[in-house]
Amino acid sequence: MTERSYVEVNDLRRVFDVSKPWLNRVLEGGEKQYLKAVDGVSFNIAKGETFALVGESGSGKSTVARMVVGLLPPTSGEVIIDGISMSSRAALAERQRLRRRIQMIFQDPYASLNPRWQVDQIVAEPIRAFGLIDGEKDIAGRVGELLSFVGLHPADGKKYPHEFSGGQRQRIAIARALASNAEFIVCDEPTSALDVSVQAQILNLMRDLQDRLGLTYLFISHNLAVVRHMASRIGVMYLGRIVEISNGRELFSRPKHPYTRMLLDAVPDVGMTGRQRIPVSGEIPNPISPPSGCTFNPRCPFANERCVAEVPPLLGGVACHAIHEGRLGIDAAA
Ligand SMILES: Nc1ncnc2c1ncn2[C@@H]1O[C@H](COP(=O)(O)OP(=O)(O)OP(=O)(O)O)[C@@H](O)[C@H]1O
Ligand code: SF4
Ligand SMILES: [Mg+2]
């Protein structure tokens, strides 16, 4: 690839020390314990594209999101946004300029909005913090414009977050994210706490804003139907790794990895007719002591000795020995 992607995530890893306190370890004789929350994740996002990460709870999606926006330092690996490395110390000033262009939207909009501030103060805060507009009148004008942008009324600026519904609060959070003229928005389960009908409105608003403003999204969800609606490319995560990465259409019509098939089979309305279904079985293992080899092997109906011994590399967009060996067909409908 000669042309650089807007977002490049290279071999990102994050280990958490989850040991008991030192004194307990001395008295009880325990070892230090480490949890690999993210274990070598790589992906690219083109400008104006939506890339989604999907996977069960605990697969490492939020940890990736926090590292991508710079809220959490990686143990190793690199995030490059518009050619600027988020981790190089030399480029501090450049990184600070980049901060303005990257925003994050969380699952619980109420927790991310200051309850004591009026909505117009909340939305104006990034404008003031980054010194984007001078003069109170112009700031107020811009805040009114942003509120209209997300489907609220400029007069709503005089209210407090608790006076709004969950969906409206997420609109406020989006207006605040846009206030800094953000280009890249990381959305971590942005609609998971909302009613289904409201979810659709917020997702449509996000798509509409993307078209109008050319936004780039990293979209995180455990919900495949939501991801299908939003993303052009999707990475499926399992225990800290991407096990399959492909464009949305292909992932839903010809899923390769047994875990992806299992996830799709759990959702009746996005299932593929005619294909043999893999029943959902087992639970995600304890990430402190993950299974050897392919970490999906205890749940996989196609596992053999090699799967227990060797970690499958991500080749051709899928990390599965059975697919690489041709033991498992890609189009299981055939
Ligand atoms: N600060 C932390 N300290 C220790 N362990 C952590 C920390 N943050 C996350 N983890 C662990 O890392 C793993 C990945 O967590 P993460 O929150 O990234 O998953 P997720 O895919 O976002 O899950 P969910 O769908 O529940 O939000 C989990 O096992 C979690 O317990
Ligand atoms: S590598 Fe083996 S255990 Fe892992 S998904 Fe493929 S067949 Fe199943
Ligand atoms: Mg999460």
Q: What percent of the chain has pLDDT over 70?
A: 93
Q: Is the pLDDT of residue 189 over 80?
A: yes
Q: What is the mean pLDDT of the chain?
A: 90
Helical H segments across 214-312, by residue range: 224-230, 248-253, 258-265, 305-309
Which residue CA neighbors atom 3 of ligand 2 most closely?
297
Q: Is the CB of 235 under 6 A from ligand 1?
A: no
What are phi and psi for residue 65, nearest 5 degrees? -60, -45
Nearest atom (ligand 2) to Cα of 243: 5
Distance 323 CA to ligand 2 centre (A): 8
- Give, to the nearest 10 degrees, the angle between helix 166-179 and helix 196-213: 20
- 89 pLDDT more than 70: no
Burial of 45 from C-beta contacts in 10 A (0-12 / 13-18 / 19+): buried
Q: What is the pLDDT of residue 275?
A: 58
CA atoms of 53 and 198, how far apart (whole Å): 22
Question: Residue 334's pLDDT is what?
Answer: 32
Task: Inform me whether the pLDDT recorded for 332 exceeds 50.
Answer: no
What is the per-residue pLDDT for 322?
Answer: 96
Whether residue 63 has pLDDT greater than 50: yes
Mutate to test the pocket of ligand 1, among 20, 33, 61 (most ligand atoms within 8 A of CB): 61
**What's the pTM value of the predicted model, to 2 decimals?**
0.92
For tokens 């807007």, name the residue. 6
**Backbone dihedral region for residue 77 (phi beyond 0: left; psi -120 to 50: alpha; all else: beta):** left
The number of angstroms, rounded, from the C-alpha of 218 to the middle of its chain's C-alpha atoms is 5
Please tell me the distance between residue 177's alpha carbon and the centre of ligand 2 in angstroms. Answer: 40
pLDDT digits (tens, 9 = 90+) for 286-324: 889 999 999 999 999 999 999 999 999 999 999 999 999
Cross-sheet strand order for the sheet of 76-81: 34-45, 7-17, 76-81, 84-85
Which residue type occupies 165? S
CA distances from 203 to 43, 150, 218, 244, 254 (A): 23, 11, 13, 24, 25
Two tokens, residue 327: 């033991």
User: Using CA positions, which residue lies closest to atom 31 of ligand 1?
Assistant: 58
According to the model, what pLDDT value does residue 204 have? 95
Measured distance CA(45)–CA(33) in Å, rounded: 34
Let me know if domain 47-76+92-236 sits in CATH 3.30.70.20.
no
**Rounded CA separation 51/72 (Å):** 20
Task: Give the domain ranges of the chain.
Answer: 47-76+92-236, 261-266+275-325
The mean per-residue pLDDT over the stretch 259-279 comes to 70
- Across 238-250, average pLDDT: 94
C-alpha distances out from residue 206 to 44, 45, 50, 96, 174, Å: 20, 17, 11, 25, 8
pLDDT bin (cut points 50, 70, 90) of residue 193 is: confident
Q: For residue 21, what pLDDT band results from cuts at 50, 70 and 90?
A: confident
Q: Indicate the pLDDT class of residue 277, thresholds 50, 70 and 90.
A: low
Please report which ligand is nearest the Cα atom of 239: 1
- Contact assessment for residue 93 and residue 60, using Cβ atoms and an 8 Å cutoff: no
Ligand 1: which residue has its CA nearest to atom 17? 62
Tokens of 272: 């593929």
DSSP assignment, residue 17? E
pLDDT digits (tens, 9 = 90+) for 98-126: 888 999 999 887 788 999 999 999 999 99
